[in-house]
Structure 1
Amino acid sequence: MKQFKTMESYLNALALNPSLAILTYQMVADGVGLTRAAIARQVKNGALEGVSIDGSNYVLAESVIRKNKEHANEVAIIKAALEDFARRGETTTYEPVMALTGRTHTNPNDRGMIGKILGAISRDTMDKHGFLLSALVFNKTQKAPTGSFFGLAEEIDEENYQEWDSAEEYLHDQLRKIFDHYRRP
C-alpha cells in the first residue's frame, strides 16, 4: 500500500503523477457491485492497490481500471469458448470453463467470479439474441445448470421463464435457441 503522511504530500505526488488518482472504498464498491468489506479484502490480498493518506485508506483508481479490463478479458475468453461449444451443439461443465481463465472450482472466490462472468455473458446474449448462453454450462453432478442459472433466468427472462411448466423445459428451450442461432450458416 502506498502511504502518504498528509493530504498535502499526496496532492504534491498526484500533481507529478496523475496515475496516483484515488477512489474511496465505497465508490469502488458501488461501481463494481460489491461491498466495502469485499473491496477492503481485495486491497488486503493485493487484487486492488491501496493508498493510505493520513491514516485514511483509498483505492488506486488505476488498479480498479486494470481489474475491470482483466474482468472484461475473462468475459470475452469464456464467451468465445461457449460460442464454440454452441457451434458444435455441445454443453460443457464448470471445470473446463473456469480453467480457461486460471480459475478452479475448489476456490469459493473463483466460483463466485465465474457466476458473475456467466451472468454478464447471459445478460448480453439475452439482450442481443433472446437466450442465456450460460445454459450451456452444467454442474457435473446435477447434469444441468445450477440454481443460480435458473434464478438469473427468472430475473432477466421472467415472462418467458414463467410460460414453461418446469425449469427443465425452459432449459431445453434455451438450448434449442442457442444451437439454432450458432448453427446458422
Structure 2
Amino acid sequence: MSIPADRGKIGEILGHISRYEHENGRPLISSVVVSRSMEQGDGFFKLAEELGFGNWKKLKNGKMFEYEMINKAHNFWSK
C-alpha cells in the first residue's frame, strides 16, 4: 500500500505548527491528529524528540506521552 503524497505534506505542515506552538509555550496541537488505528504517527514522536521530550521510540511505546499531550491540547484549546 502506498502513502498518498499529500499525507507527507500534511505531516510537514503539522510539524511546523507544533514547533511554533511549542516555542510559544503551548501544547503540541498535532497530538490530536491520529491515523485510522487511532494512534499518532512516527513523525509526531520524532518531532517530540527534537523538541526535547525524550527518545521517540520510548515515547511511542510508553503511550502516556500521547495521552498527556492530547489532554493538554484539549484543555488549552477548549478554553
Regarding TM over 0.5, the answer is: yes
Q: TM-score range by the shorter chain?
A: 0.7 to 0.9
Unaligned runs of 5+ in 2: none
Which is bigger in relative contact order (C-alpha 8 A, separation at least 6)? 2
Task: Give yes or no for the alignment of 1:153 onto 2:78.
Answer: no
Percent sequence identity over aligned pairs = 29
- 2:16 counterpart (95, 120, 131): 120
Cα deviation, residue 129, structure 1? 2.9
* More strand, by proportion: 1
Structure 1 residue aligned with 2:30, among 116, 134, 156?
134
Query: Could you say what the CA RMSD is over the residues aligned between the two structures, in angstroms?
Result: 2.0
Assess if the C-alpha contact under 8 Å between 2:45 and 2:59 holds in 1.
Answer: no
| CA–CA separation in structure 2 for the residues paired with 1:129 and 1:140 | 29
Distance 2:6 2:78 in 1: 31
1:84-123 aligned at under 5 Å gives the runs 107=4, 109-123=5-19
Amino acid corresponding to residue 114 of structure 1 in structure 2: I
Deviation string, structure 1 residues 68-119 (Cα, Å, up to 9, x no partner): xxxxxxxxxxxxxxxxxxxxxxxxxxxxxxxxxxxxxx52x21221111111
Under a length normalisation based on structure 1, what TM-score does the superposition of the two structures give?
0.36
Q: Please list every run of 5 or more consecutive structure 1 residues that lacks an aligned counterpart in the other structure.
A: 1-105
**CA gap 1:112/1:166 in 2 versus in 1, 3 angstroms:** closer
Q: Contact 2:27 / 2:72 at 8 angstroms: preserved in 1? A: yes
Q: CA deviation at 1:166?
A: 4.3
Amino acid at match of 1:177: K
CA distance in 2: counterparts of 1:137 and 1:114, whole angstroms: 10
1:131 Cα deviation (Å)? 1.6
CA distance 1:129–1:144, shift in 2 (3 Å): same
Which whole-Å CA distance do the structure 2 matches of 1:137 and 1:147 have between them? 12
Structure with the greater alpha carbon radius of gyration: 1
**What is the aligned residue count?**
73
| 1:137 to partner: Cα distance | 0.5
* Residues 182/124 of structure 1: CA separation in 2 closer, same or farther (3 Å cut): same
